[in-house]
Structure 1
Amino acid sequence: MIKLSNRLQQIADLVPKGAKLADIGSDHALLPSYLAERGMIAFAVAGEVNEGPFQAAVKQVREAGLTGRIEVRLGDGLSVLKPEEVDCITIAGMGGALIVSILTAGLDKLAGVRTLVLQPNVGEDTVRRWLLEHGWFLAKEHILEEDGKIYEVLTALRTSEADRANEELYEPRVLRPDLVVDKERLLQMGPYLLDQGSDVFIHKWMLELEKLERICKQLSQSAAEASRAKEDELRRFIRETEEVLSCLSKAKR
């Protein structure tokens, strides 16, 4: 039986039972193979743009005896799909900007898709913005740490109530009388993740602040007016983020 990493297991757990799945950027097709092996999906398309991973996926599916349940296709993004062929799409292990470009280029292939499970390595806010702008409801967020890396997994649903549900989801949070988390901040940090305030979430943002501090140090060495403005902007963001994290830490105690 196929065993998945914690990251892929989290994604697998979010795929609806009986789904017609497309796993885009499937690499070795481990995710669809795991789900098909356990009878958790009706069938799957494993899409891969590069020849090497494509051949690895073909081999994996063949050796697992799943050629009747999984089709491995070579192509760019959602171009491997036919309209209304699948009802769930997973895209994992790439940057948020690339995920968004794949979804945008394949908008016509999203007809009939009810669930998106997306795991951007960076640029999670870019994905949240795309979902909001294109009428998808962000239904769940998960965060986990594995092998020294932190991953966020976003689950979005196609629903007629998306606009109303998103409006409620991105309502500002009042953490204290003088500290309000607005919609922009929720898009950056994740509404569910901020509400949960887990140790992994706090750790992620502490690491982000360390990176921003290093950038500020570099900017401070420049005399350019644009550098001064950028440093001021980043330092304001750092201060506000530190206040948010402090409130969440106190709430946990």
Structure 2
Amino acid sequence: MKLTPRLLNIAKFVPKNSVLADVGTDHGYIPVYLMKNKITEKIIATDINEGPLLSAQKNIKLYGLDNYIETRLGNGLEAIQPGEVDTVIIAGMGGLLIRDILLNHPDVTKSIKRFILQPMVAQDELRRWLYANNFKIIDEKLVSEDHRIYEIIVVEHGKEVIEDEIYFEIGKKLIENKDPHLEAFIYKHIKKQKDIINNLVGQKTDKAKNKLKECKEKIEKFEEVLRWLKN
């Protein structure tokens, strides 16, 4: 099975011989790929909706992997028992929904060793919550697919102190690794801040002034990272 760049890069973070839960499995592409390539020992593929789960079951059957990949209907981690898996993928959802999935079943979350997260939006809020709740980001990667840049965040339990707010917006590991897509990613963030600044033109409220200051400070930080990347 050939995966898209986004899914393939998510799969690359799954440790060899792990027992995995793929939450929101959709068509079950990642579980099939991992099992066909003998990366995982066992996989539980879950989804909140019956339709995607039926699609996943068809793909699993097609590749003769029924004995290795179990499908379960359920919301978030509710279909997983504490200690049942050591690795979880939660991909293609909003950052706040990912946060809620980890929050809603603390016993399961506590028992998982590695979390491979791929938030579609609110990445900064997810990072902020992770750092504040005894998680550490051990790796990150940017993936370009269909004119969009996706963020993959690999997390384990542990404490990490973040010394600069910029690392909520641009993951610290992305900067340390000099991710190949980082420059384009930062320019995208700069454009977003400039668009906000343009929308604030003519607004005199304290809220607007504070927002303007915040946007300018972010742009300065982004440009500082760009200069570091180019040196």
Query: Does TM-score exceed 0.5, indicating one fold?
Result: yes
CA distance in 1, matches of 2:40, 2:222: 41
Which letter maps to 1:65?
Answer: G
Aligned to 2:42: 43
C-alpha spacing 1:238/1:145, structure 2 compared with 1 (3 Å): same
Aligned-residue offset at 1:46 = 0.8
Which residues in structure 2 correspond to 1:21-40 (within 5 Å)? Answer: 21-40=20-39
Which letter maps to 2:103?
Answer: T
Aligned to 2:152: 153
Which letter maps to 2:124?
Answer: D
Which residues in structure 2 correspond to 1:94-243 (within 5 Å)? Answer: 94-158=93-157, 162-163=158-159, 166-167=160-161, 170=162, 182-243=163-224
C-alpha spacing 1:143/1:76, structure 2 compared with 1 (3 Å): same
C-alpha spacing 1:95/1:39, structure 2 compared with 1 (3 Å): same
Give TM-score scaled by structure 2 length: 0.92
Which residues in structure 2 correspond to 1:62-77 (within 5 Å)? Answer: 62-77=61-76
Deviations 1:218-238 (A, max 9, x none): 111434342233122212222
Aligned to 1:244: 225
Deviations 1:139-196 (A, max 9, x none): 11112212211112111223xxx33xx24xx4xxxxxxxxxxx432223211111123
Which letter maps to 1:21?
Answer: L
CA distance in 2, matches of 1:122, 1:71: 29
Which letter maps to 1:220?
Answer: V
Aligned-residue offset at 1:199 = 4.2
Aligned to 1:8: 7
Which letter maps to 1:222?
Answer: Q
Q: Equivalent residue of 1:93, what SS? A: strand
Which letter maps to 1:201?
Answer: L
**Seq. identity, %:** 34
Aligned-residue offset at 1:248 = 2.0
Structure 1 vs Structure 2 CA RMSD: 1.7
Aligned to 1:179: none
Contact kept in structure 1, 2:142 and 2:181, CA below 8 Å: yes
Contact kept in structure 2, 1:220 and 1:231, CA below 8 Å: no
Give TM-score scaled by structure 1 length: 0.85
State the structure with bigger RCO (CA 8 A, min sep 6), 1 or 2: 2
Which blocks of at least 5 consecutive residues in structure 1 are unaligned?
A: 171-181
CA distance in 1, matches of 2:93, 2:204: 36
CA distance in 1, matches of 2:93, 2:101: 11
Which letter maps to 1:192?
Answer: K
Q: Equivalent residue of 1:248, what SS? A: helix
CA distance in 2, matches of 1:117, 1:212: 28
> How many aligned positions are there?
231
CA distance in 1, matches of 2:54, 2:171: 36
Aligned-residue offset at 1:202 = 1.4
Which letter maps to 1:84?
Answer: G
Where does structure 1 differ by over 4 angstroms across 4 or more consecutive aligned residues? none
CA distance in 2, matches of 1:68, 1:219: 58
CA distance in 2, matches of 1:198, 1:138: 15
Contact kept in structure 2, 1:84 and 1:110, CA below 8 Å: no
Contact kept in structure 1, 2:166 and 2:218, CA below 8 Å: no
Which blocks of at least 5 consecutive residues in structure 2 are unaligned?
A: none
Please say which of residues 36-45 and 21-30 is displaced more in the overlay.
Answer: 36-45
**More helix by proportion, 1 or 2?**
1
Please say which of residues 20-29 and 146-155 is displaced more in the overlay.
Answer: 146-155
C-alpha spacing 1:140/1:199, structure 2 compared with 1 (3 Å): closer
Contact kept in structure 1, 2:27 and 2:52, CA below 8 Å: yes
Q: Equivalent residue of 1:83, what SS? A: coil
